Homo-oligomer: A and B are copies of this chain.
Amino acid sequence: MTKKDIGIGLLGLGTVGSGVASTLLSKSDSLAEQAGALLVLKKVLERDISKSHAFKIKPDTFTNHIDEVISDPEVAIVIEVIGGEHPAIEYIKQAITNGKHVVTANKEVIAKYGHELLSLAREHNVALRYEASVGSAIPLISPFQQDLAANDISAIYGILNGTTNYILTRMSQEGLDFALALKQAQELGYAEANPSNDIEGIDTIYKLAILSSLAFHTEVDPQDIYREGISRLTPQDFRYAKEFGYAIKLLAIAKRAGETIEVRAHPAFIPEESQLANVNGVYNAIQVEGDLAGKLIFYGQGAGALPASSAIIGDVLTIARNICHSVSNVSRVKLNQKLAVKPMSHIRTRYYLRLNVADRPSVLSQISEILGKNNISISSVIQKESDLSSQTAVLVIMTHPAEERAVQKALEQVRQLTVVNEVGNFVRVEA
């Protein structure tokens, strides 16, 4: 079979871009076998032309003008691995408008503009694929569109960010505090110098927006997703979690509830015997619950140049095969359901409360009275760390399911009690 080569334009030659470029070059033969045509790296958008030596790419492949990539008639597929919102979104739109198929790993752009970009791609009769945007090499986007398409999805629970999962694993296993665990993650290259995107859950809500929109066939604006980071967690919380039989994870949650969906990402207690509780280090895992499939879990590395290349080149191969077979590459993703996001104040779950209180007999009754008046019932309570000198103690309360707004209101009232020194933390509990 001799087919015309398929030209690739690569936007960005950072960690992921380098992985993609070197894989395209080193696996050229086997990829051609898979695709049915030679995949040729025609253009690379990268300022630093010295990088061309490392990849044995002809220097004139490199350019720092986006137009030289997306207007090149020999480029059929554009891979965007610049990351971030700008200029990636503009480049992707221009590439699509120029009739190029686009493969991207950009969770921020897909979370914010996915619906618009898919429409634009349909209009221009090209593919827009983004398997690498969530869970890296873990197949998720295409299973939701294809293998699981017969299911009504009821829930997704995900550990979607390797950096925070690494930090939480160290805190749990070694009793480190957050700052030290973060510092070590940074030293090992698992966390960035400015880690806020990861530790504040921003990365997680982008990924959750993408998954939940596919699962529920609806647009999910990442701004509508409730978000809480992991920096408030302390070694104490991990100790008490263990005592009650739980692990603590930064959990992305999406649930269908009639014509609304619940979407949120925050630290959560999960039973330590659950599969997700045993996902440690930089690994990601996504649990999907469907009416037919039951519970499925997908597990793998959520980051890194090679896992991302696996997903990106998988997408490229799908497009290339369609080109070789003269088959339309137009996406058939439908996000045409109109499901409202349930306000966070209305969600119901169980709660872990850690309070620093005066070590006096009446304390528990005052606190439980407030909880009771707010319709929050206690499932268990332990008093810990009585300190004779300061006359303080730590009260750890696990509640039965209660409404978020009731818990928030109760905590406001609890904070006013003179016997309560501090609400140390509260963490939602997911069964």
Residues of A within 8 A of B (CB): 23, 27, 30-31, 33-34, 131, 137-139, 142-143, 146-152, 275, 278, 290-301, 304, 306-307, 309-311, 313-314, 316-318, 321, 325, 327-328, 330, 332, 334
Contacts and interface: CB of A to CB of B under 8 A. Distances in A.
A328 B293 CA distance: 27
A247 to B, nearest CB: 13
Contacts of A143: 139, 142-143
B292 A306 contact: yes
Contacts of A298: 296-299
B152 A147 contact: no
B314 A325 contact: no
B148 A314 contact: yes
State the oligomeric state as a number of copies. 2
B31 A150 contact: yes
Contacts of A307: 292-294
B292 A150 contact: no
Nearest to A27: B150
Contact of A300 (B146, B152, B296, B314): B296
A201 B293 CA distance: 24
A294 B304 contact: yes
A304 B292 CA distance: 10
Nearest to A313: B150
A50 to B, nearest CB: 26
A300 B300 contact: no
Contacts of A139: 139, 143, 146-148, 296
A318 B146 contact: yes
27 contacts: A27-B150, A31-B150, A137-B292, A137-B296, A139-B143, A142-B146, A147-B314, A148-B310, A148-B314, A149-B314, A149-B317, A150-B313, A150-B314, A275-B299, A292-B310, A292-B313, A293-B301, A293-B306, A293-B310, A295-B300, A295-B301, A296-B298, A296-B300, A297-B299, A297-B300, A298-B298, A298-B299
